[in-house]
Amino acid sequence: GQHFLGIEGLPEDQIEILLDRAENYALLNRSRKTPRNLLRERTLITLFFENSTRTRTSFELAGKRLGADVINMSVSTSSVSKGETLLDTAYTLNAMRADLLVIRHAQSGAPALLAQKVDASVINAGDGTHEHPTQALLDALTIRRHFGKLTGLTVAICGDIAHSRVARSNIILLKTMGCNVRVIGPRTLLPSTIAKMGATPYYSMDEGVKNVDVIMMLRLQRERMSAGLIPSTREYFRFFGLDRRRLNLAKSNALVMHPGPLNRGIEIDSHVADDPHQSVIQEQVEMGVAVRMAVLEKFSHIKAQP
Ligand code: CP
């Protein structure tokens, strides 16, 4: 099959087409008029080796709204707990003739490995610190809905850049679409490789958010840090947390974004996260379903319908 493993290598016009299709699905979702025959007789299996609320649920909803048979493999109750490997699990699902495999795994490159071994189209739902491509698409769609374009906007991505597949996918996508991208964080969480990706590093939050159009906050991924290197949460919020004063340094209509899950009071103040005018966190979740519908449509080799 044709796989969706990352934003890297996806040209601008392909991104634009996916965003347009997703915008169309966002409207159909609101009017409850989704094409339930589109993925009829297709089987979608979600395989999450790491926990998820948004991504797994929205892939399931996306599949169901297009009429696919959706199976959620519960990894913790599967035979993985008896020592079955990732590849043997994949061969087993392949023998059941799944058409689409949506996988999340702690190891970067796990979806790419799977893609070489199965007939199904493999869709990356987040692999280690590598990529989370559907997240970058839903973020881009949310931004585009508010500004009508992406080109020329300045986006600040803040926090634990080092461990963030969301940051990597977003930097690649936003640079491809002509945005100015800043990354803000403590030196320990801001790898030098970021400069090669074309994002400008800032080690001061006040400096980094000045005059930006979008502030994208990230969670501290403690599960990917060694115990001695986890910052104290009080210190972290003081230096890198987003509060009202810092938000006011950005443009007056700046958007506040967060991929979720939120750790309130650690990277973001609750009032800012819930701000009715500037926070678009719930809209990001809504666009997540629409984007995943567009991705399932594209990667199940079905011709687009009106
Ligand atoms: N943003 C995101 O990937 O959330 P989940 O981990 O809940 O899927």
pLDDT (mean) for 20-46: 96
Centre of ligand 1 to C-alpha 126, Å, is 9
Residues 258-283 have a mean pLDDT of: 97
Of 38, 79, 8, the residue nearest 294 (C-alpha): 38
Residue 107 near ligand 1, beta carbon < 6 Å: no
The answer to whether residue 105 is catalytic is: no
pLDDT at 194: 85
According to the annotation, is 11 in a ligand binding site? no
Give one DSSP letter per residue of 262-282, joined into a string. Answer: --BTTTB-HHHHT-TTTB-HH
Token digits for 146?
A: 């508010």
Per-residue model confidence as pLDDT tens digits over 162-198 = 999 999 999 999 999 999 999 999 999 999 888 889 9
**pTM: predicted TM-score of the whole model, two decimal places:** 0.96
Q: Please tell me the predicted confidence (pLDDT) of residue 75.
A: 82
The pLDDT-based confidence of 122 (bands split at 50, 70, 90) is very high
Q: Does ligand 1 lie within 6 Å of residue 260's CB atom?
A: yes
Burial class (CB in 10 A: 0-12, 13-18, 19+), 291: buried
Give how far the C-alpha of residue 126 lies from the chain's centroid of Cα atoms, to the nearest Å.
Answer: 7
| Helix 165-176 vs helix 133-147: crossing angle, to nearest 10 | 50
d(CA 281, CA 285): 7
Q: Are 93 and 117 in contact (CB under 8 A)?
A: no
Which residues are CB-contacts of 208 (< 8 A; sequence separation ≥ 6)? Answer: 156, 158, 182, 183, 184, 202
Pocket test of ligand 1: the residue of 55, 129, 160, 282 to mutate, having most ligand atoms within 8 Å of its CB, is 55
Residues 280-290, mean pLDDT to the nearest whole number = 98
